[in-house]
Amino acid sequence: MYNSAAKAYGRTSQQTVNPRELEAALLIKAAARLQSVIDDWENASPTLDEALQYNRKLWSVFVDAVTRSDCPLPAQVAQNIANLGLFVFNQTIALQVQPDENKVRSLITINCEIAGGLRGQAEAAAAAPATTE
């Protein structure tokens, strides 16, 4: 009985996660995959490609979302995210041609900074008092 209740709670909590928190968690996951490549740089070739592919797919989703006509973000914020996405794509191509730890680190930094911003927004939204009009 306890096991089925725990599973039901797990499914519900996954369905109710704040979208910003989910995005932040995915960015941190991508950053961790990239960091693991740096941690074993001598054997990085196969894992670098996998980590770059995961990160690129994630950023493709972000860029697609902010370039849609129905994007709810302010235009400047959407443009900044799109520009970061283009930088990530360019770094990814450069890394596939010539692996460079510093370029991998820049991707990690971007992911962590954006995740931090998303988590800050999510915390601020959760802490804001509800208004009724």
> Rg (Cα) of the chain, in Å, rounded?
18
Q: What percent of the chain has pLDDT over 70?
A: 78
Residue 54: is it exposed, middle or buried by C-beta count within 10 angstroms (0-12/13-18/19+)?
middle
- Give exposure, 89-120, as e/b (b: 16+ Cβ within 10 Å): eebbeebeeebeeeebebbbebbbebbeebbe
Give the pLDDT score at 99.
Answer: 95
Domain range summary for the chain, segments of one domain joined by +? 25-125
d(CA 95, CA 49): 9
Could you tell me the pLDDT band of residue 128, with boundaries at 50, 70 and 90?
A: very low
- What pTM was computed for the model? 0.78
